[in-house]
Structure 1
Amino acid sequence: MNFRFQNLLGAPYRGGNTVISNNTLLISPVGNRVSVTDLVKSQTTTLPTHSSSNISRIAVSPDGTFLFIVDEKSRCQLINLHRRITLHRISFKNPVSVVKFSPDGSLIAVGEGKLVKIWRSPGFAKQYFPFELIRTFANFDGKITALDWSPDSNYLIVGSKDLTARVLHLKKLRSDVTYKPFMLLGHRDSVVGAFFGVDKKTNRVCKAYTITRDCNILSWTFRSEEGDINKMDDEGSEPPSPGTPDRDVEGKIEIDDNNNNIKKRKNYDGKDAETRYLITGKWELLRKDNFMQTPAKLTACDYHRELDMVVVGFSNGVFGLYQMPDFVCIHLLSISREKITTAVFNEIGNWLTFGCAKLGQLLVWEWRSESYILKQQGHYFDVNCLAYSPDSQLLATGADDNKVKVWTVSSGFCFVTFSEHTNAVTALHFMASNNCLLSASLDGTVRAWDLFRYRNFRTFTSPSSRQFVSLSADQSGEVICAGTLDSFEIFVWSMRTGRLLDVLSGHEGPVHGLMFSPANAVLASSSWDKTVRLWDVFNGKGAVETFPHTHDVLTVAYRPDGRQLACSTLDGQIHFWDPMDGLLMYTIEGRRDIAGGRLMTDRRSAANSSSGKCFTTLCYSADGSYILAGGSSRYICMYDVADQVLLRRFQITHNLSLDGVLDFLNSKNMTEAGPLDLIDDYNSDMEDGVDKQTQMKIGYDLPGSMPNRGRSIIRTKCLKIAPTGRSFVAATTEGVHVYSVDESFIFDPTDLDIDVTPEAVDAALKEKQPTRALILSLRLNEDSLVKKCIFGVSPADIPAVAASIPYKYLQRLIEALADLLENCPHLEFILRWCQELCKSHGNSIQQNCRNLLPSLKSLQKAITRIHQDLADTCSSNEYMLRFLCSSGAMK
């Protein structure tokens, strides 16, 4: 039961801004969670912390320690990235459009509605009021859209929807001084980006760039009283500037009566004039350039100070890279036809990150070599089905966007996408060879995919067009079966020839569940006609057994040993059958366990509503001791099969942006036109928004259910447990949730006495008693001690120590060896341990394979991965040696 959330697959990016920390860590929002991608190691993880709604803005501290996230409800969290925990929380009154840490990391600038608030950044210490408000600027007439810090953290340049940009000074002046911010005028649309430019010699601000939504960039220069920082060629004739008049720091402006222009500014003799150099001067417009992308709108931009380069993204999917201040176009390319919602440089400036919220796509592009560092795209619509590979290393997903994706579980990366299907993918199945994947779709085809050559090598079809919703294959991989939605038949094909062998008829409703018995060639099918049928496929006898129910049967699953069959019905019950004798063993009533969550359109409360209180997916554990069940609810239930008791409920999300999360709705949100959250008052022309889509689900669903015409409803469509038993995945509305066994130390005192202590383990190792030390560490069940004792055994003593291990500690020892194989370099030593354990305990392993199956699968997964890595390395070395030998022979 010790499972915890580990990762989220299937939706890398759904909107908001992205940031890059420490030059290689890409941080992006994923719904109400945050995903961190290591661009060097090619690994992605999702932080366990979550917000109450979708995250809209994120910012990371300069040293990469703190992460500041803001959701759509203006609730903010300060997260320690290294410890992956939330330190502090704060809520704002107005929507937050932009947030950014100062270069020294001590301050946080927040654009809250029409206000700019400067907060002191909290530290690690727990405080009653961790956030301290330093200053508030309320000079704007429109929503804040962009801001940037000066290198010394004393100035801000802020862009707004009021068509202006302002330069703000953070430190307060004397009480007799009335300082007004500089205004940069001349924009004809809202400002999307505002950035400071610096003089590389003095590291002082000497210029600025403002980028507007109508595809214009304005270059500004700063002239101080001591002399112009950027000296103009003709100092006598200065072009007219649309900037603000030069204001005296004391609020006085000297006017020349002859030409009504500014004549002179009084000097300010301050104590720290070094930090107030931008006060005594004026801003001038140097040039105005257009990106020539009309009628498209500019939606994202970023500026790199060291390289003096600007990257911009447009609503038509085009991005451009420009060298400033001469406005030289370096690259102008198109990555899609949809709006680019984020564009950002890394710290060095050699990588560009682009995000498209509508496609769920993230790209990291190296602009010098014009190559991709990262190219990930999630499923556009909900994930319908999942399949684990036999070695638990790969995970396949199929969705309503007609695509099949294969992911590496350890890294969280998708390495291949198959898009040959023309309708929603409804079922997946991995063959025992681990190199072949089957997929069924509503387009009337079942396709076989080669994971070596990444191609569709076989397609199975029916004589007339059918919609397939279930799929299974026998243990030998010779026969493929698929159930239909419309004709209520089961089609049987030969995997070798691709020919249609048989059509099994008898069901009177859609066949949504299909599975071969692991013990024999009997096929079990479940249908909405309230029956579960067993079929003898190879002998062609048709249905050999029928199990009737009182309600529609939604899914079916075999226990791994084939001696038990579980099926769920529309009334919320799970029935367990003995497939050999055809008897009902017991029933679990799960209506109250899965109940929870009220939809916005429900007229009844969650307690009184009967809709959705049923399980649509079931999955047995590797040893068959427990079963996972999920459905149209925010809960996943884990039941003990032998005792029929609920062990644990997993709440898959707390995201209030989804429907069906709350048990009680606020009556204040109900209007005459319906729920307030479902009223579409969204301005689709906003530059920083993500187009809301009403996803009309026209297709298969539960009998009698209505498609959701509002927000996405939280549900679990598929559950799969890894063959190793160490993790399970759930296909939910938010994506694919990955849960793994918590590796932290679990204290089990059932086999302890006063002499079993860590000190006793160390004493046994010092006395050269490796067997006693290993058994003591296994009784303590502490991972670090077990591994320490394994390495404390000399290679010559491994056979004797392995033979003396009691059977009850065998599973724990195999799990430790599997973990060492994946993380330590001593391969020969660990493989010797595995070999001797198999020799000494071969008979015990065969007799109790069901109990040891999860740990053995974990060991197989680790050995398979190492074998693949070594094979690739040897092939590369062999090719290099042949090349060197051929080069030497030519000389």
Structure 2
Amino acid sequence: MKTDFKFSNLLGTVYCQGNLLFSPDGTHLYSPVGNRVTVFNLVDNKSYTLPFSHRKNVARIGLTPQGNLLLSIDEDGQAILTNVPRRVAMYHFSFRSSVTALSFSPSGRYFAVGLGRKLEVWHVPSTPDSNAEGDLEFAPFVRHHTHVGHFDDVRHIEWSSDSRFFLSASKDLTARIWSLNPEGGFTPTVLSGHRQGLVGAWFSKDQETIYTVSKDGAVFDWQYTARPNNDNEMQVEDESNLQWRIVNRHYFMQNSATLRCASFHPESNLLVAGFSNGLFGLYEMPDFNMIHTLSISQNEIDYVTINKSGEWLAFGASKLGQLLVWEWQSESYILKQQGHFDSMNSLVYSPDGQRIVTTADDGKVKVWDIESGFCIVTFTEHTSGVTACEFAKKGNVLFTSSLDGSIRAWDLIRFRNFRTFTAAERLSFACMAVDPSGEVVAAGSLDSFDIHIWSVQTGQLLDRLTGHEGPVSSLAFAPNGGLLVSGSWDRTARIWSIFDRTQTSEPLQLQADILDIAFRPDSLQIAISTLDGQLTFWAVSEAEQVAGLDGRRDVSGGRKITDRRTAANVAGTKSFSTIRYSTDGSCLLAAGNSKYICLYSVTTMVLLKKYTVSVNLSLSGTQEFLSSRHITEAGPAGLLDEQGEASDLEDRIDRTLPGAKRGDPSARKRMPEVRVSSVGFSPNGSAFCAASTEGLLIYSLDNHVQFDPFDLNMEITPASTLAVLKQDKDYLKALVMAFRLNEAGLIQRVFQAIPYTDISLVVEHFPSVYVARLLRYVAAQTEQSPHVEFCLLWIKALVDKHGAWLSANRGKVDVELRVVARALSKMKDEIRKLADDNVYMVDYLLGQAGDKAGGAAKGDEMLLEWTPVADTEVKGLPLSTSGPALHEILDDDDVEVGEEDWIGLE
């Protein structure tokens, strides 16, 4: 089995903190998620996470006007410059202070950052593409200017359209105008008059007006004008009397709510404001006419931004992890996503591998689409934390167990809860298992030591299995059905034959409390994880232990902020709370309250690979050693409650409920602990996912090889490949050369140039090392290309000529065969739908042809039905030419059609 899994995407979290960005064309939205950045494609409805990660949570992101460079800065001022089209981190840089504001100039040559009370302007680093030598620079970040003058943190920076001036809005109640370079007759200007800290300041489109917005909801219009005299006449002739003055004052009037964020679009004079009560408003300036108000969240809106065209508004609310894109003209949502605002408990792949279901302590069940990265449905019927979820082996039926005392069955076609199972008394169910046939569901609780079994069809409680002397912590059905294995805190595992109403063996005695149980896909072996960090493997038929390994040294790592001992001596992280077999049963994936995920070989009992979940120092448990600098007299600095020292009144108010530690979204810890609550392999074995503190991490095999230098030499170039194709007509050699170069355009050109009569000959002598890649390429072409029969001939030839090799290497080409099967089923469905839609039209045409058959005897050239002939070309016209091109050629006076030539299709 391949083990080179790499991080590919992050689901389950859509927004954490910081600012949101639209791409220059307005079709992509950039959102900080923890220490990473996720990009949402709003047109194609897809999302992906950039591969780099910071050492702390991202605080600010900025994008050049060209959209090719992304600058992301974390809470400590550590910056990463990323090439967005290539998704490659180019430079790392430290600003040596926390960054509170960031903005690129419209010219794309400078960017300004707010470092507390200080402003710095930097040159934008040149990319390797724009560099003359094409190499990276030694010192890419060059400071242009430093500006001081504010007395509190700078919160917002806005450039003028010509990039000569920029505005800074600060918490010191003032905004200031700065020039990029020294300007004749210009001095930095202070705009004061607000009574609370400023949220933002913007230029109008003609740059004759400045709008400033403060937290108390005041909007001031500033214009460069003269002071009015006693007769209310403007003294414009005196240049010394001209200065920026307030000409209008407006107020939002939102009762007790305070203004949290605002954004202005100069081209449409649109002002958007978000408030602490979850309400946002749209206003047209300079008259301050209210266009629209809408409540979009239960908590405050943290950030709002507008795309370049002014049509889409993006909102971020960090308390509940919400991200919204709103089209204000049509009053419709473009994007509406929300992650779990509490820790995730379990996950499961759907049988087709296209979706992942997650459950969490917030009582929600979310279904995520893997290809798009979006949550497609959320179930909120559970009233308490959802502890486990599992699919029935066949069909689209999902089962979930919850602490509210219910087991629920969900129909994922109609997206509804169609069955609810409860016990005679109120129990909090902590684990659950479903029979592969989908007929029986079993659950165990922490309150009762019994195992409850229900019938799915009737919803009746069938049986209660007694025998455990402690809470039941894990349940697992055998994949072939019949046997149920239960694990308990009484240090025993029991094997039940529930359909025979007998216990098939004595309890399996272990040395510590059981945390999780996993069945091997062939139903012959089970793996048990215990609290002492041991993994034991048992043969089901003999009920005896066949192997075991000690995982304490592998899983331990990362010292929590409250630990008094070193990471190597802490017992709390030295166990696996979740284990899963791979699809072929050769490997075991294990994880727990640690930053590591371990992959073991079942046959050799060897650790194959360790995957690091997170390097985010904003989480507790990600660093091996703690620094004494962060220890105070009151304990670790990261756990001190500094809410009472906040500068703003609404931040000092404690809204948490007394005694509420779970389920209350306002009671999240400042430094949550890194842990993995559940892992799962995809059905095709090409990926696995992990439910962690940061979200749903997906690790997949890199199937898209960018460059394959296998058997490559200097003579193999695109030009030589095309020469072999056109001049020598050596199609086999040209195709192999194209696959060695692995350029998509070249492969497609060679692929489509091969005559269909030579397909079987080319495939027969095609090297086996490239068969898997050719099969994947043909399957992709089947889904995209209009040449349906051409692609089917390739697939048939591959199966005929290399069927034995494909069978022998099923594990290596399992993904490719699944892609082919999906392409063929998709094509079959499309053809069936097309035939069903046109069956009456075909009957009508056939009937019309039969009615006019007697009137078509006057000349064979006037036949409505076209007849093929021996020749395959009309004066050099290829057989595949049809439609408007054929009519243009036939209408030409120079084309002569003989009696023996075919003139159409039958």
TM-score interval for Structure 1 and Structure 2 normalised by the shorter chain = 0.7 to 0.9
1:332-360 deviation line (CA, Å, top 9, x unaligned): 12112210001111000011111111111
Identity percentage over the alignment? Answer: 41
Alignment of 1:345-494 (within 5 A): 345-494=306-455
Q: Residue in 2 aligned with 1:155?
A: 165
Q: Whole-Å Cα distance in 1 between the matches of residues 434 and 841 of structure 2?
A: 42
> 2:43 pairs with 19, 40, 51, which one?
40
- CA-CA distance at 1:434 after TM superposition: 4.2
> 1:525 pairs with 472, 482, 486, which one?
486
Q: Residue in 1 aligned with 2:547?
A: 586
Q: Does the 8 A contact of 1:468 with 1:484 survive in 2? A: yes
Alignment of 1:275-286 (within 5 A): 281-286=242-247
1:332 is the counterpart of 2:293: yes
Alignment of 1:750-829 (within 5 A): 795=756, 815-818=776-779, 820=781, 826=787, 828-829=789-790
Q: Whole-Å Cα distance in 2 between the matches of residues 108 and 621 of structure 1?
A: 48
Cα gap change, 1:181 to 1:805, in 2 (>3 Å): closer
- CA-CA distance at 1:134 after TM superposition: 1.2
- CA-CA distance at 1:51 after TM superposition: 0.9
> 2:141 pairs with 122, 126, 131, which one?
131
Match of 1:476, as an amino acid? S
1:184 is the counterpart of 2:191: yes
Q: Whole-Å Cα distance in 1 between the matches of residues 431 and 841 of structure 2?
A: 47
Q: Whole-Å Cα distance in 1 between the matches of residues 823 and 692 of structure 2?
A: 28
Q: Residue in 1 aligned with 2:180?
A: 170
Q: Whole-Å Cα distance in 2 between the matches of residues 694 and 645 of structure 1?
A: 47
Cα gap change, 1:427 to 1:685, in 2 (>3 Å): farther
1:774-808 deviation line (CA, Å, top 9, x unaligned): 89999x79796998887676555666777888999
Q: Residue in 2 aligned with 1:219?
A: 221
Q: Whole-Å Cα distance in 2 between the matches of residues 393 and 447 of structure 1?
A: 22
Q: Residue in 1 aligned with 2:232?
A: 237
- CA-CA distance at 1:5 after TM superposition: 0.9
Q: Does the 8 A contact of 1:724 with 1:855 survive in 2? A: no
Match of 2:20, as an amino acid? T
Match of 1:156, as an amino acid? F
- CA-CA distance at 1:111 after TM superposition: 1.0
415-424 vs 67-76, greater mean Cα deviation:
67-76
Q: Residue in 1 aligned with 2:850?
A: none
Match of 1:71, as an amino acid? D
Q: Residue in 2 aligned with 1:88?
A: 91
1:258-295 deviation line (CA, Å, top 9, x unaligned): xxx999446xxxxxxxxxxxxx9411211101111131
Q: Residue in 1 aligned with 2:868?
A: none
Cα gap change, 1:214 to 1:870, in 2 (>3 Å): farther
The secondary structure found in structure 1 opposite 2:384 is: coil
Q: Residue in 1 aligned with 2:62?
A: 59
Q: What is the RMSD of the two structures over their aligned residues, measured on CA atoms? A: 3.8
The secondary structure found in structure 2 opposite 1:67 is: strand
Q: Does the 8 A contact of 1:437 with 1:450 survive in 2? A: yes
Q: Does the 8 A contact of 2:437 with 2:481 survive in 1? A: no
Q: Whole-Å Cα distance in 2 between the matches of residues 97 and 207 of structure 1?
A: 25
Alignment of 1:691-710 (within 5 A): none
Q: Residue in 1 aligned with 2:892?
A: none
Q: Residue in 2 aligned with 1:614?
A: 575
Cα gap change, 1:744 to 1:455, in 2 (>3 Å): closer
Q: Whole-Å Cα distance in 2 between the matches of residues 782 and 586 of structure 1?
A: 44
Gaps of 5+ in 2: 129-135, 843-906
Q: Whole-Å Cα distance in 2 between the matches of residues 238 and 88 of structure 1?
A: 57
Cα gap change, 1:502 to 1:81, in 2 (>3 Å): same
1:367-420 deviation line (CA, Å, top 9, x unaligned): 111011000111111111111111111111111110011111001011111000
Q: Residue in 1 aligned with 2:6?
A: 4
The secondary structure found in structure 1 opposite 2:106 is: coil
Q: Does the 8 A contact of 2:169 with 2:201 survive in 1? A: yes
How many pairs were matched up? 824
Q: Does the 8 A contact of 1:729 with 1:737 survive in 2? A: yes
1:145 is the counterpart of 2:140: no
Q: Whole-Å Cα distance in 2 between the matches of residues 868 and 486 of structure 1?
A: 50
Match of 1:8, as an amino acid? L
Q: Whole-Å Cα distance in 2 between the matches of residues 408 and 56 of structure 1?
A: 28
> 1:79 pairs with 75, 79, 82, which one?
82
Q: Residue in 1 aligned with 2:904?
A: none
- CA-CA distance at 1:87 after TM superposition: 1.8
Cα gap change, 1:691 to 1:678, in 2 (>3 Å): farther
- CA-CA distance at 1:877 after TM superposition: 9.6
Q: Does the 8 A contact of 2:316 with 2:324 survive in 1? A: yes
- CA-CA distance at 1:564 after TM superposition: 2.4
Q: Does the 8 A contact of 2:557 with 2:573 survive in 1? A: no
Q: Whole-Å Cα distance in 1 between the matches of residues 795 and 386 of structure 2?
A: 40
> 2:110 pairs with 103, 107, 110, which one?
107
1:208 is the counterpart of 2:210: yes
Q: Residue in 2 aligned with 1:656?
A: 617
Q: Residue in 2 aligned with 1:516?
A: 477
The secondary structure found in structure 2 opposite 1:198 is: coil
- CA-CA distance at 1:444 after TM superposition: 1.4
Q: TM-score, normalised by structure 2?
A: 0.83
The secondary structure found in structure 2 opposite 1:593 is: helix
- CA-CA distance at 1:552 after TM superposition: 1.6
- CA-CA distance at 1:96 after TM superposition: 1.4
1:638 is the counterpart of 2:625: no
RCO comparison, higher one (Cα < 8 Å, 6+): 1
Q: Whole-Å Cα distance in 2 between the matches of residues 836 and 519 of structure 1?
A: 36
> 1:549 pairs with 488, 494, 510, which one?
510
- CA-CA distance at 1:170 after TM superposition: 2.1
Cα gap change, 1:845 to 1:564, in 2 (>3 Å): farther
- CA-CA distance at 1:422 after TM superposition: 0.7
Q: Residue in 2 aligned with 1:727?
A: 687
Q: Whole-Å Cα distance in 1 between the matches of residues 157 and 840 of structure 2?
A: 53
- CA-CA distance at 1:223 after TM superposition: 3.2
Q: Residue in 2 aligned with 1:193?
A: 200
Q: Does the 8 A contact of 1:723 with 1:857 survive in 2? A: no
The secondary structure found in structure 1 opposite 2:166 is: strand
- CA-CA distance at 1:196 after TM superposition: 0.6
- CA-CA distance at 1:610 after TM superposition: 2.3
Q: Does the 8 A contact of 2:505 with 2:543 survive in 1? A: no
1:550-594 deviation line (CA, Å, top 9, x unaligned): 112211112222222222122212212222233322222211111
The secondary structure found in structure 2 opposite 1:677 is: helix
Gaps of 5+ in 1: 200-204, 240-260, 267-279, 701-706, 882-891
Cα gap change, 1:26 to 1:775, in 2 (>3 Å): closer
Q: Whole-Å Cα distance in 2 between the matches of residues 50 and 880 of structure 1?
A: 58
The secondary structure found in structure 2 opposite 1:637 is: strand
- CA-CA distance at 1:93 after TM superposition: 3.4
Q: Which runs of 4+ in 1 moved over 4 A?
A: 261-266, 683-700, 707-710, 746-749, 751-778, 780-881
Q: Whole-Å Cα distance in 1 between the matches of residues 438 and 734 of structure 2?
A: 46
1:169-216 deviation line (CA, Å, top 9, x unaligned): 221258xx8x642121211111101001132xxxxx200000010011
Q: Whole-Å Cα distance in 2 between the matches of residues 380 and 426 of structure 1?
A: 15
14-23 vs 82-91, greater mean Cα deviation:
82-91
1:120 is the counterpart of 2:142: no
Cα gap change, 1:807 to 1:589, in 2 (>3 Å): farther
- CA-CA distance at 1:366 after TM superposition: 0.7
Q: Whole-Å Cα distance in 2 between the matches of residues 96 and 557 of structure 1?
A: 47
